[in-house]
Amino acid sequence: MKIFMVVGARPNFIKVAPLHRALSKCSNVVPRIIHTGQHFDFAMSGIFFEQLELPTPDYFLGVGAGTHTQQTAAIMVEFEKVIQTEKPDLVMVVGDVNSTLACALVCAKENIPVAHIEAGLRSGDRTMPEEINRIITDSISDQLFVTEKAGVENLLKENIASERIHFVGNLMIDTLARHLPQIDQMNLIGKLGLCSGDYILMTMHRPVNVDDLAGLTRILQIIKALSAEQTIVFPMHPRTRKNILMLGLLRDFEEVKGLKMLEPQGYFEFLNLIKNSRIVLTDSGGIQEETSYLRVPCITLRETTERPVTVEEGTNYLLPDFDTHSILNKVNEINAVKLKKGQIPAFWDGNTAERIVAILREKYFNSYVCDK
């Protein structure tokens, strides 16, 4: 049985790694990795393959950057060529990036079964391209694997048959739990002259925050206010750095005392930064999950989250008000009383890949043997 696994962006690699490892243990199952090239530079792609022990992709589509429409269309064209050359029995798509939607659409038109990993997540904000990708991908997928109970509820509300919905847990946590020893061995904070718990880690990359002068100026103001009291470590997404340069703001960022700007980090290095931070300030989705598992307070600068379990049970605080004063107040509250420790959500236990493979066996290849 031939199973294609589509990856295109950093979170996809992290989630596919344990699934590829689990499927590789099954006789007569051939898992093949299709890298669309949506994230194509080494810092955002290649190093993750090395650290996560993923094999070289069987196909690299080399699509690269572009508008959402251009990128989605280009992936569809290139992925269709692969499908027509080597028709798989099942295609697995992950998350909510353009690669996810594009490849699911091609499979739907070619009558190839699709399994969506991390299905059912909804922010309720249709201005986010990722939200459109989630909704459409779920509507055309055959099997939907869900990370939290809210995802099941969302899919049922959208009239998706319950037998197609599987609450299995979070593959990102599989990878994090497996590699904790390597993460702990990193000494990045020592090289930065920092100690565990004495800095705030910031990540910002969403277009609404980093694609214009107003958004980047707001981020700069937040950094200036926070850095008066504690060090800010800011690994910059390539998109963020490009826009800072283009808008002539680099010197303004460089002149902030207490700000350490970094290049994009490898998986181990970045998780080491998260694990040793006092607080994480982010607009990322996946980081809300990683901080909840690691019990690190996280302030998410977004009006909505598609991962409500991280707020309800984890360590995440949703802060829709981007006002600097509100952010300072929340940071001070966390520092003063060490607000909620949080708990690890159900099935975030490092065994999600095995649960997914067990369901796939039942649906598609029950006669095959899978070693434990």
In this prediction, residue 368 has a pLDDT band, given cuts at 50, 70 and 90, of low
Q: Give domain limits for the chain.
A: 2-169+348-363, 180-337
Question: 2-169+348-363 with 180-337: one CATH topology?
Answer: yes
Summarize the confidence of residues 46-51 as an average pLDDT.
78
Fold annotation for 180-337 = Rossmann fold (3.40.50)
Q: Which two tokens stand for residue 153?
A: 């509820």
Residue 40: pLDDT band with limits 50, 70, 90: low
Burial of residue 255, with CB atoms counted within 10 A of its CB: 0-12 exposed, 13-18 middle, 19 or more buried: exposed
> What is the rounded distance in angstroms from the CA atom of residue 256 to the CA atom of residue 234?
12
pLDDT of residue 196 exceeding 60, the answer is: yes
Contact 218, 322 (CB under 8 A): yes
CATH top-level class of 2-169+348-363: alpha beta
Give residue-wise pLDDT tens across range 16-25.
Answer: 999 999 999 9
- 260 forms bridges with which residues in the sheet? 233
CA angle 344, 350, 355 (to 5 degrees): 110
pLDDT of residue 355: 97
Element spanning 121, H or E: none
- Give the residue-averaged pLDDT of 170-184: 96
- Buried-exposed string 331-344: b where 16+ CB fall within 10 A, e elsewhere: beebeeeeeeebeb
Instruction: Please state, in angstroms and rounded to a whole number, the distance separating the CA atoms of residues 285 and 124.
Output: 14
> What band does 367 get if pLDDT is binned at 50, 70 and 90?
low
Sign of the alpha-carbon torsion through 111, 116, 120, 125: negative
205 catalytic, yes or no?
yes
Q: Which strands form 259-262's sheet, in the order they lie side by side?
A: 259-262, 231-235, 199-203, 279-282, 298-300, 316-318
Active-site hit among 39, 116, 205, 237: 205
